[in-house]
Amino acid sequence: MILDLLFPNRCIHCNRIIEPDFLVCNLCFNQIHFTHYDYFESNPIKEKCNLLFPVENTYALIRFEEESLSRKIIHELKYRSREITGKILAEWTTERLDFKNQRPDLMVSVPLHPRKLRERGYNQLHLFTETLSKFYSIPCDHQLIKRNHYSKAQALKDKQHRLETVNPFSITQPITGKHILLIDDVFTTGNTISSIAWEIINVGDNKVSILVIAVDV
């Protein structure tokens, strides 16, 4: 209580004092550009993924735009040691995403390399995925996908270097005949998602759908 008085939680956009478990104030919340994608219908992510690998369904929560609030939200999640941001974003997702009667069998998040995990202290997608898993009653597995190489963040690579990455991921255990929901933070070129999707598809008779927090296409 004393710490809350001395260091109150503030909106990441306008710096107003807000409730402890909030990310932005009500006024700034209206500035977030939600995608309003339909998980089952065509959207920019599905169109891009279809060029890279067979995909079932796709969804993104917000649009990732330069100098925008959505960019601040993603940076808060990934780089400012505020893991709770993942839970907040998951709650926003559950208010907008309905799997209807076609729920995936398993949720899997894009892994960090162990070295990167030690440096950051947490995987920014774990709490997000776990919150969704609990809400939708769909199991999640943080160990199914292994990142084989330590590398710089995708945002720091040029496009050509991203395309040159070979076999960056592998499957750690047999899995067959499952519909996997693959979860990532930001969808840009689709190369990371594609690398993992092909590993999942090739290891057995599996299907892949995609859920990302933000889309930048």
Question: 57-86: per-residue pLDDT in tens?
Answer: 999 999 998 888 999 999 999 888 788 899
Distances in Å between the Cα of 67 and the Cα atoms of 37, 73, 86, 95 are: 22, 11, 21, 26
- Are 187 and 104 part of one and the same domain? yes
The rounded mean pLDDT for the chain is 90
- Are 49 and 12 part of one and the same domain? no
Of 26, 46, 27, which Cα lies nearest the Cα of 35? 46
- Are 65 and 150 part of one and the same domain? yes
Could you give the CA distance from residue 208 to residue 131 in angstroms, rounded to a whole number? 20
pTM for the whole structure: 0.89
- Are 41 and 136 part of one and the same domain? yes
- Are 108 and 72 part of one and the same domain? yes
- Are 53 and 5 part of one and the same domain? no
- Are 18 and 79 part of one and the same domain? no
Alpha helices (runs of H) in 137-174, residue ranges in sequence order: 159-164
Domain of residue 192: give its range. 33-215
Give the number of domains in the chain. Answer: 2
Span of 34-38, 95-99, 148-152 with lowest mean pLDDT? 148-152
* pLDDT > 70? residue 29: yes
- Are 6 and 42 part of one and the same domain? no
